[in-house]
């Protein structure tokens, strides 16, 4: 025995309206179904009412989009006025907190000192395309103004020596003997001084 496949749950509204009208047309005067239950006029009326509701909803959505667009424009315009007025108050008050607050504005909290920086982490050293050279990179440390890179030739007791500084979170290193093993570490430099060094990372020079 065959069963009907409706698929109404995920059917788009316009398709559902068309489907209902198609069923009403197919069953109208169909001798195989002399007494449809519910009657076909209720199906036709239901399709018509859904179509009206769908059209109203589409019009409302379009109107809402237009109103939202106007709202965004007005919000941006007001932001501009408030920003200009804030600049005026800052200048006219000469940065005096009480005078600024008397105009209804709030003042920013002064930035908190960062203090001693943590040691850089995730230090990675990779051979570059030229013999005796390598590239080192690490995760940026918040508040760091520069970084100090040290290198040591492999030995039971590592003898560290600074080989460069960088204001970025990476550096290129050279002057190594190909095939020799070296160790590298990085420290961050900030307003409070230098951080501890990172864990050392080894590399066989290319």
**pLDDT computed for residue 164 by the predictor:** 83
Q: Domain 124-204: give its CATH superfamily.
A: Immunoglobulins (2.60.40.10)
Per-residue pLDDT, 45: 95
110 or 31: which leads in pLDDT: 31
- Quick one: what percent of the chain has pLDDT higher than 70? 100
Per-residue buried b or exposed e for 181-196, using 16+ beta carbons within 10 Å of the residue's own CB = ebbbbbbbbbeeebbe
Residue 147 parent element (H or E): strand 146-153
| pLDDT at res. 165 | 87
Tell if the pTM clears 0.85, that is, is over it.
Answer: no
List C-alpha distances in Å: 67 to 12, 59, 64, 96: 26, 12, 5, 40
Q: In a 10 Å sphere around its CB, with 0-12 CB exposed, 13-18 middle and 19+ buried, how is residue 38 labelled? A: exposed
Task: Report whether pLDDT(36) > 80.
Answer: yes
Element (H, E) at 171: strand 170-173
For residue range 135-163, list pLDDT tens digits in order.
Answer: 999 999 998 999 999 999 999 999 998 88
User: Which residue ranges make up each domain of the chain?
Assistant: 13-85, 124-204
CA proximity to 103, closest of 119, 111, 113, 91: 91
């Amino acid at each position: 025995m065959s069963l009907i496949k409706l698929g109404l749950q995920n059917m788009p509204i316009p398709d559902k309206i068309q489907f209902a009208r198609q069923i009403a047309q197919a069953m109208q005067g169909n001798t195989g179904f002399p007494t449809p239950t519910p009657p076909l006029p209720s199906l036709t009326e239901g399709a018509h009412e859904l179509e009206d509701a769908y059209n109203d909803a589409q019009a409302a959505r379009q109107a809402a989009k237009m109103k939202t667009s106007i709202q965004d424009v007005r919000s941006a315009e007001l932001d501009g006025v408030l920003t200009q007025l804030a600049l005026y108050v800052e200048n006219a008050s000469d940065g005096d907190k009480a005078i600024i607050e008397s105009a209804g504005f709030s003042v920013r909290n002064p930035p908190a000192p960062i203090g001693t920086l943590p040691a850089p982490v995730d230090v990675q050293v990779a051979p570059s395309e030229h013999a005796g050279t390598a590239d080192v990179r690490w995760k940026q440390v918040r508040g760091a103004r520069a970084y100090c890179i040290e290198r040591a030739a492999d030995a039971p007791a590592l003898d560290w020596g600074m080989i460069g500084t960088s204001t970025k979170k990476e550096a290129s290193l050279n002057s190594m003997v190909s095939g020799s093993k070296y160790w590298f570490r990085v420290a961050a430099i900030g307003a409070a001084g230098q951080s501890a060094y990172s864990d050392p990372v080894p590399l066989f020079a290319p």
